[in-house]
């Protein structure tokens, strides 16, 4: 049986400027100890404008915290005003990049085709995508959450070779639980995460499926993280609001103590 290292990632969304980012990462670094990093991979996903500052701090102080971006362009370079390429993120030594977050799908009309192109762009530039999937409330109420989410997984990974897919991180984030305080019940989250692992086994192999880390995201806090992490197919959390409070995020990283 594969042992998957849990991954706790803070998606800051459009919060914290580059000066606030430095202060925030310093707080995290001060609080987190080697034993935390041995047990859990810790990552932050700041806004683009913070990345250079975070890189300088992480490099300078040799911090074990990883960082990445919240999005990337599907294109390598060129006349795409406002976009940021995977190559640019790689140059900033980003490890991760979120792809297909529901806020990108909703406000920027990102389809599974676009998300798939972005996943491929991430790998092309040596970044690990955190592929975000999850259903809206009406889909859950109609009982179609599993098939909806699996279609997003399949669409996002289309034609992706196993050598790449084996390192992908998938974040199951039911849209109705994001920023609402409504957490998906741990067993309901487990149902979908287990189905995602089953889909990976179908698309690739059971061995690959057992290796991929699947996060839950949506109103994760120190008070509910332990129950979520106790589920067999949940290997971490993608944390929005609660990641903006350093003490709270540290408690989430230390989910075993909660
Ligand atoms: O969207 C999320 C992380 O990507 C979840 O956000 P909240 O933790 O604020 O609900």
- Sign of the alpha-carbon dihedral angle for 107, 81, 48, 59: positive
Tell whether ligand 1 has an atom less than 6 A from the beta carbon of residue 10.
no
**How much is the pLDDT for 37?**
98
How many Å apart are CA 243 and CA 153, to the nearest integer? Answer: 25
Whole-number Å distance between alpha carbons of 210 and 7 = 15
- Quick check: is 131 in a domain? yes
Q: Which residues define the annotated binding site?
A: 11-13, 179, 219, 240-241
Q: Which domain CATH number covers 46? A: 3.20.20.70
Task: Say what the pLDDT of residue 181 is.
Answer: 83
Within-domain flag for 1: no
What's the Rg (C-alpha) of the chain? 17
pLDDT in tens, 85-123: 999 999 999 999 999 999 999 999 999 999 999 999 999
* Index of the ligand 1 atom closest to the CA of residue 45: 4
Neighbouring-strand partners of residue 99: 131
Domain assignment present for residue 2? The answer is: no
Per-residue pLDDT tens over the stretch 187-230: 999 999 999 999 999 999 999 999 999 999 999 999 999 999 99
Candidates 101, 125, 135, 248; catalytic one: 101
pLDDT confidence of residue 182: 82
In a domain, 173, yes or no: yes
Contact 195, 224 (CB under 8 A): no
Domain presence at residue 66: yes
Q: How many domains is the chain partitioned into structurally?
A: 1
Asked if the structure places residue 18 within a domain, the reply is yes
Mutate to test the pocket of ligand 1, among 10, 13, 237 (most ligand atoms within 8 A of CB): 13
70 in contact with ligand 1, CB cutoff 6 A? no
Residues with Cβ within 8 Å of 154's Cβ and at least 6 positions away in sequence, in order, are 199, 203
**Residue 1 above 70 pLDDT?**
no
For residue 141, the model assigns a pLDDT of 93
- Residue whose Cα lies nearest atom 2 of ligand 1: it is 240
Whole-number Å distance, alpha carbon 225 to ligand 1 midpoint, is: 13
Which pLDDT belongs to residue 204? 98
Provide the 10 A C-beta neighbour count for residue 15. 16
Structure confidence at residue 2 (pLDDT): 62
Domain span at 118: 7-257
Closest C-alpha residue for ligand 1 atom 3: 240
- Cβ atoms of residues 69 and 89 within 8 Å: yes
Answer yes or no: is the ipTM higher than 0.95. Answer: yes
239 lines ligand 1 (CB under 6 A): yes
The candidate with the shortest Cα–Cα distance to 191, out of 149, 253, 225, is 149
- pLDDT tier, 3 (very low <50, low <70, confident <90, very high otherwise): confident
| Residue 183 confidence (pLDDT) | 78
Closest CA to 110 of 131, 87, 82: 131
What residues does 11 pair with on adjacent strands? 45
pLDDT tens-place string over residues 33-66: 999 999 999 999 999 999 999 999 999 999 999 9
**Residue pLDDT, tens place only, 121-172:** 999 999 999 999 999 999 999 999 999 999 999 999 999 999 999 999 999 9
Q: Is-catalytic flag, 108?
A: no
Give the CA distances from residue 229 to residues 33, 232, 251, in Å, rounded to whole numbers and listed in that order.
20, 8, 13
pLDDT-above-90 percentage for the chain: 96
Residue 133 covered by a domain: yes
Q: Is the CB–ligand 1 distance for residue 218 below 6 Å?
A: yes
Is the residue at 79 inside a domain?
A: yes
Q: What is the mean predicted confidence (pLDDT) over 60-81?
A: 98
Catalytic residue flag (residue 101): yes
Which of 178, 181, 242, 245 best tests ligand 1's pocket when mutated (most atoms within 8 Å of CB)? 178
**Residue 213: beta bridge partners?**
169
């Amino acid at each position: 049986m594969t042992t998957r290292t849990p991954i706790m990632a803070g998606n800051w969304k459009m919060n914290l400027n580059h000066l606030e980012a430095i202060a925030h990462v310093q707080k995290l670094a001060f609080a987190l100890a080697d034993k935390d990093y041995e047990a859990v991979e810790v990552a932050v996903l700041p806004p683009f404008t913070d990345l250079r500052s975070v890189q300088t701090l992480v490099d300078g102080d040799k911090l074990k915290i990883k960082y990445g971006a919240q999005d990337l362009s599907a294109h390598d370079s060129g006349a795409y005003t406002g976009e940021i390429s995977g190559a640019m993120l790689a140059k900033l030594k980003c490890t991760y990049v979120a792809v297909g977050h529901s806020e990108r799908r909703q406000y920027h009309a990102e389809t599974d085709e676009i998300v798939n192109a972005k996943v491929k762009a991430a790998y092309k530039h040596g970044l690990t995508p955190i592929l975000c999937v999850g259903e809206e409330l009406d889909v859950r109420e109609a009982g179609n959450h599993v098939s909806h989410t699996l279609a997003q997984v399949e669409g996002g990974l289309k034609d992706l070779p196993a050598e790449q897919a084996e390192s992908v991180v998938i974040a199951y984030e039911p849209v109705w639980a994001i920023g609402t305080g409504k957490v998906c019940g741990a067993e309901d989250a487990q149902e979908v995460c287990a189905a995602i692992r089953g889909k990976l086994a179908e698309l690739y192999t059971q061995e690959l499926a057992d290796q991929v880390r699947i996060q839950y995201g949506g109103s994760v806090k120190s008070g509910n993280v332990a129950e979520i992490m106790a589920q067999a197919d949940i290997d971490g959390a993608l944390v929005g609001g609660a990641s903006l409070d350093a003490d709270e995020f540290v408690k989430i990283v230390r989910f075993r103590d909660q």
